[in-house]
Structure 1
C-alpha cells in the first residue's frame, strides 16, 4: 500500500480554455479513517464536461486550493465501520485523488454483473448512461420510429444516447461530431444512420442534408449553432432535451444561441433540461435495460481509457478538446491488463 496520497487542486480561475497551469498535484501523508469511516484507494476516475463549469466562480463551484471532486470507483483498504469491509468496491464523489476517507452514507456499493467491467459504472451504467437513458425515456419520451438528432454524438452521453435510441427502436439517427473520423465511427460502430462534422459548413445546411424530412427529438450536448439548427429542423410537437452547452464553456461571455422563437410556438416544440441527480430512482431500471444487453453483446461500451492518475489533468483537457471517443475514464496503472 502506498504511504502517500496525491490530490489535484485547482489553483486559478481560467478565462477561456483551461491549461495545466490551472491545476496542481499535491502530495500528503496517507489519510487515516476515523471512527465510522473507511479509507478507499481509488482505481478509476471520471472526468466530465461539467467540471469545466465548476472551475468558474459560480455557486457550488470548485474552491481554489482544495481537492477537486468527481465520480470515482475504489476499493476499501482500511475500515472503522461495520458497514464497509476491506475489499468492498464502492463509488463515491471524492475523485481527483488517489485515496479518500468516506462514510457509508457517502458511497454506493457496486453490484457485480458477470462479464461487465467496473468501468461500465462510470460510463454506460453510471451517470453518463443514466443521463442518456433519462433524456430519452423521461424527457423526450421517445416513441418507436421517431427520428433523432444528437449533438456531440461521439462523446460519452452522445454515444450512449445513440446506442440506447437504437435499442428503443428509434427511426433515423443523426449525429454531429468534431471530425470526419468521429462521424464515420458513429455510423460504422455506434449505429447512427448518418453523421457529419459540424466544421464542414453551416450546421443548418448539414442537418438539412442529413435529415431532409426533419427530426422529432434533439438531444443537445452543445448548444450554440447546433441548437439553433435543430429548432429549424424539428417537426410539429418536437422535443429538445437540453443536457449541456459545451460549445460555450470555454468562451467568456459567449452569446446565447439565436433561433426563431416563433418556431417554438408554431410547431409546439417542448424544450426541457434536467439534472441527472434528480433521477437516481431510475438507476435500477437502467441496470435492467442495459446489463443483459451488455452481457449478450447487443450493447457495447464506448470508452477511452487513460492510464495513470498522473494523467488525469491531461485527460480532462483532452476531453474538452474532443480527443476522446465515448466516455473518458482514467484508471490506476495496476488496473491495466497485461500485454499479450
Structure 2
C-alpha cells in the first residue's frame, strides 16, 4: 500500500448535548481536533470505514450498568467499529505502515490507540468494508448460543438490521429449514425475501404480530434470534414449540423507543407457556466464545466469495454525513448495516 502522510489534525464527531427523546443530527457536531501525541506502544491509524450503530442512543443516554461500553457525555467523541490503515506503529507492535486493521475508535478520520487494541486484518475479503459486517455475533449465537439444528424453524426479530440481515442468511447456511424475519416496512420485507433468503416476513404495525408469526410458522418456532424484545419476544413465546431455544442479543424495542430513555427494555411475558413449553431464554455475547472467531472469519470469507452470503449495507460518504446517518439508523430508514466511508 502507498505511504500515508501523517496529518496535523483530524475531524471527528462529538456529542453536543444529551437529546430529549430520539437523537437528531443537530445533537452532534463535526470538529477539527489536534491529534494526541503517540505514547509508548501507540499506533496512528487513518480510518477508511466506520460502522454507524443504533447503540449510540443508549450510550448518550448514560449507558447501561454492566455493559462493556463507556457512556458518552457532551463534548465526547463517538466511537464504533472501524477499519483503517496504519500510518505509524512501533517496531515492537508487529504492525507496519499500510497494514489494514480493525479497532473501536470510529467516528474520526484518524485514531491514536494502543497497538494491542488493533486487530490486523488479512485483507482476504473482496471489500474491506465487509470487515464491519455483524455476522460474527450472529454466527456465534446460532452456533453456540442455541446450537441450531438442521431443519429447524428460526425467527429473526429485526431481520433487516445490521445483525439481523446477517443472522437470517447464516441460519439458512447452518441448515435451518425455514427462516422468518420481522421488519417495519413492506419495502424492506420484499428485499428480505428477494436478497436475504427469508421464507416469510412479519410486519411490525400491520396485523397482530402473534397472528402473523403463527401464519408464517405453521409448524411453530424452534429458535428465536432476538434483536428486539418487546411484543416480538411475546409473539415468539406464543408460537414456540416445546423445547424452543431463544438467544437474546439485543433490545431494540426499548433502545429505540421514543417513550423511553433508551437505557431500559421492559417486557411483560406470560411465564406459563415458557414453563410448560420448556423454553430456554439465554442472553448472549459473542465474547463468550471469542476463541472461535477465526473459524467465523474462514466461513465468512468463503461464503462471501462464493456468493452464498451478501453483506447488505448502505454506504454514505464523508464524516460530515455521519450524524444524519445515525439519525436515519435510529429511525429505521436503512437496510442492513450503515457504513461511513472516509
Q: What's the TM-score once normalised by structure 1's chain length? A: 0.91
Q: Partner of 1:36 in structure 2?
A: 41
Superposed structure 1 runs of 4+ greater than 6 Å apart: none
Aligned residue pairs total 327
Match of 1:94 in 2: 105
| In 2, Cα distance between equivalents of 1:215 and 1:71 | 33
Q: CA separation in 2, counterparts of 1:66 and 1:299?
A: 36
1: CA distance between counterparts of 2:60 and 2:289? 25
Cα distance change on mapping 1:169 and 1:21 into 2, 3 Å = same
2:81–2:106 Cα contact (<8 Å) kept: yes
SS in 1 for 2:205: helix
| Aligned partner (choices 107, 122, 146) of residue 118 of structure 2 | 107
For the pair 1:221 / 2:190, whether they are aligned, the reply is no
Specify the alignment match of 2:183 in structure 1: 177
Quick one: structure 1 residues 81 and 225, their matched pair in 2 at CA, closer, same or farther if it must change by over 3 Å?
A: same
Deviation at 1:196, TM superposition (A): 2.5
Mapped to 2, the partners of 1:236 and 1:100 lie a distance apart of 50
For each residue in 1:29-84, what CA deviation from the matched residue of structure 2 results, as whole angstroms up to 9, or x when unmatched? Answer: 34443443221111000111222211112343123312122111111123344422
Deviation at 1:26, TM superposition (A): 1.9
- Residues 126-182 of structure 1, C-alpha deviations (whole Å, 9 max, x = no match): xx1111011111111100000011111011111111111111110111111111011
Deviation string 1:199-251 (CA, Å, 9 cap, x unpaired) is 21211111112112211011111111111111101000001111111121133
Written as runs of structure 1 = structure 2, the 5 A alignment for 1:200-219 is 200-219=206-225
8 Å CA contact 1:129, 1:157 repeated in 2: yes
The Cα of 1:255 is off from its aligned counterpart by 7.0
2:245 equivalent in structure 1: 239
| Structure 2 unaligned residues grouped into runs of 5+ | none
Q: Could you say which residue in structure 2 is the equivalent of 1:131? A: 137
Structure 1 residue corresponding to 2:25, chosen from 10, 20, 29 = 20
1:75 aligns with 2:85: yes
Q: Residue 153 of structure 1 aligns to a residue in which SS?
A: coil
Q: Cα offset for 1:262?
A: 0.7
Q: Does the residue aligned with 2:137 lie in a helix, a strand or coil? A: helix
Give the structure, 1 or 2, with the largest relative contact order (CA under 8 Å, sep 6 or more).
2
Map 1:1-340 onto structure 2 (within 5 A). Answer: 1=5, 2-58=7-63, 59=65, 60-83=70-93, 84-113=95-124, 116-123=126-133, 128-249=134-255, 250=257, 251-252=259-260, 256-332=266-342
Equivalent residue, structure 2, for 1:338: none
Measure the CA separation in 2 of the matches of 1:315 and 1:7.
15
Counterpart secondary structure, 1:199: coil
The residue matched to 1:41 in structure 2 has which SS?
Answer: strand
SS in 2 for 1:256: coil
Alignment partners' CA distance in 2, 1:255 and 1:39: 38
TM-score for both structures, normalised by structure 2: 0.91
- C-alpha distance in 2 between matches for 1:27 and 1:243: 36
Task: Compute the RMSD of aligned alpha carbons.
Answer: 1.7
